[in-house]
């Protein structure tokens, strides 16, 4: 790995940490808060080589675990799942197209948020603290706002300062 790519990964981690922290500060638990860090990662993933997806998933999960309350292992599993799905979708549709980028980001944010809600419910259930149960449509507001964010700011997020060495995939 060259020094410029290592610096690019470090800056991606910093940008992702800032996005997740900003999401936590601005969201205050609101279900309508877009998943800023995941939209950043998915916007960049459209330009990454397939082999870079596990590195991006690891760094994104570390960034979210640093400022969030979720457990790191489910975060890593969720990011790996979402990035694998994104790579499958990327092989079929052009993710640099605004409409496809927005639709895919919304669907993947929905899947990621549903995964975290399911993990949370299972953890509460195993502790004997099961609450109202799993609500399958609870991630919908975050998915809709994340889709709008990907539509409006996706290219800007993928071109944040320092991320140029990571963008190798050209269309």
Range of the domain at 87: 3-161
Least Cα distance to 169 among 12, 9, 51 occurs for: 51
| DSSP string over 17-76 | HHHHHHHHHHHTT-TT---HHHHHHHHHHTTS-GGGHHHHHHHHHHHHHHHSSS-HHHHH
Residue 166 lies in a domain: no
65 in Cβ contact with 75 (< 8 Å): yes
Residue 80 lies in a domain: yes
Contacting residues for 145 by C-beta, under 8 A, at least 6 apart? 32, 33, 34
Residue 61 lies in a domain: yes
Q: State the pLDDT at residue 27.
A: 86
Residue 13 lies in a domain: yes
Q: State the pLDDT at residue 1.
A: 74
Q: State the pLDDT at residue 171.
A: 44
Residues of the chain with pLDDT under 70: 126-134, 169-171
Residue 128 lies in a domain: yes
Residue 168 lies in a domain: no
78 in Cβ contact with 116 (< 8 Å): yes
Angstrom distance (rounded) from CA 119 to CA 107: 18
Tell me how many domains the chain contains: 1
Residue 114 lies in a domain: yes
Least Cα distance to 45 among 85, 92, 103, 74 occurs for: 85
Residue 170 lies in a domain: no
Angstrom distance (rounded) from CA 23 to CA 109: 14
Look-up of token digits 């500060």: 25
């Amino acid at each position: 790995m060259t020094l410029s790519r290592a610096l690019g990964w470090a800056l991606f981690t910093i940008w992702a940490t800032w996005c997740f922290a900003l999401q936590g500060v601005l969201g205050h638990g609101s279900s309508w808060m877009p998943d800023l860090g995941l939209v950043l990662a998915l916007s960049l993933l459209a330009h990454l080589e397939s082999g870079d997806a596990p590195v991006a998933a690891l760094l994104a999960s570390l960034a979210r675990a640093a400022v969030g309350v979720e457990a790191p292992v489910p975060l890593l599993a969720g990011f790996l799942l979402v990035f694998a799905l994104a790579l499958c979708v990327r092989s079929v549709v052009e993710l640099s197209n605004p409409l496809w980028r927005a639709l895919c980001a919304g669907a993947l944010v929905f899947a990621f948020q549903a995964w975290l809600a399911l993990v949370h419910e299972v953890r509460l259930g195993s502790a004997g603290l099961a609450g109202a149960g799993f609500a399958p449509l609870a991630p919908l507001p975050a998915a809709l706002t994340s889709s709008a964010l990907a539509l409006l700011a996706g290219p800007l997020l993928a071109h944040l300062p320092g991320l140029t060495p990571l963008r190798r995939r050209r269309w």
